[in-house]
């Protein structure tokens, strides 16, 4: 004969098991999300490193007589815009705005470097060459950080969409982290004609 406590005990046990499963899944998702956020912070750090190099680059280029002021101003403006954006990796629109601003910096720097080809004294300056080496190294770090972020975001995005984890992720508002894709025109290196500057 069953005790009157059998059914309540079974129900409590089932609820405890479900609670433990949900709690374990939630904690695991929090850990995965923090890995993605850390990876995104590393991307931001490398972009900030690039932004920190720009004032020195602009200062060095200003020393070249008759350097195109419009080109310099475009770099300064692009840097200002990029460093003013606050971004949360879980907010797709903020990430899109952040990347657009960073692409603006990339484009303006490419233009500045292409125009600098017309200034032999600037090109031969040790300070200018050193800054270009630092910028190149930073661009490489940015690419590595973006790749690391994608490697962290991919399994996290898969988990939050896969049953039964998607039940927990939906219940607690875990959202997809937007992966980086190649920048538009990222493979297009500026063509430079040493006689006239940037080729049309």
pLDDT for residue 190 is more than 70: no
Q: How far apart are CA 45 and CA 30, in angstroms?
A: 22
The CA-atom distances, in angstroms, between 33 and each of 17, 45, 85, 168 are 24, 18, 22, 14
Closest CA to 174 of 41, 22, 20: 22
The mean pLDDT of the chain is: 87
Q: How many helices (H) and strands (E) does the chain have?
A: 6, 2
CATH superfamily of 6-176: LemA-like domain (1.20.1440.20)
Mean pLDDT in residue range 177-196: 54
Kindly list the domain boundaries of the chain, sorted by start residue.
6-176
In the chain, % of residues over pLDDT 70: 88
Residue 70 confidence (pLDDT): 92
């Amino acid at each position: 004969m069953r005790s009157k406590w059998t059914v309540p005990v079974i129900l409590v046990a089932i609820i405890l098991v479900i609670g433990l499963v949900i709690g374990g899944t939630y904690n695991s998702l929090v850990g995965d999300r923090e890995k993605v956020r850390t990876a995104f912070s590393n991307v931001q750090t490398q972009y900030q490193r690039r932004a920190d190099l720009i004032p020195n680059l602009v200062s060095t280029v200003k020393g070249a007589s008759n350097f195109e002021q419009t080109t310099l101003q475009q770099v300064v403006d692009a840097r200002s815009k990029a460093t003013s954006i606050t971004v949360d990796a879980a907010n797709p629109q903020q990430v899109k705005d952040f990347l657009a601003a960073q692409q603006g910096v990339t484009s303006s720097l490419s233009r500045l470097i292409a125009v600098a080809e017309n200034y032999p004294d600037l090109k031969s300056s040790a300070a200018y060459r050193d800054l270009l080496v630092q910028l190149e190294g930073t661009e490489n770090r940015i690419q590595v950080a973006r790749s690391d972020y994608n490697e962290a975001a991919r399994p996290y995005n898969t988990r939050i969409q896969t049953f039964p984890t998607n039940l927990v992720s939906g219940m607690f508002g875990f959202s997809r982290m937007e992966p980086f894709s190649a920048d538009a025109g990222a493979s297009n290196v500026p063509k430079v004609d040493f006689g006239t500057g940037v080729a049309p």
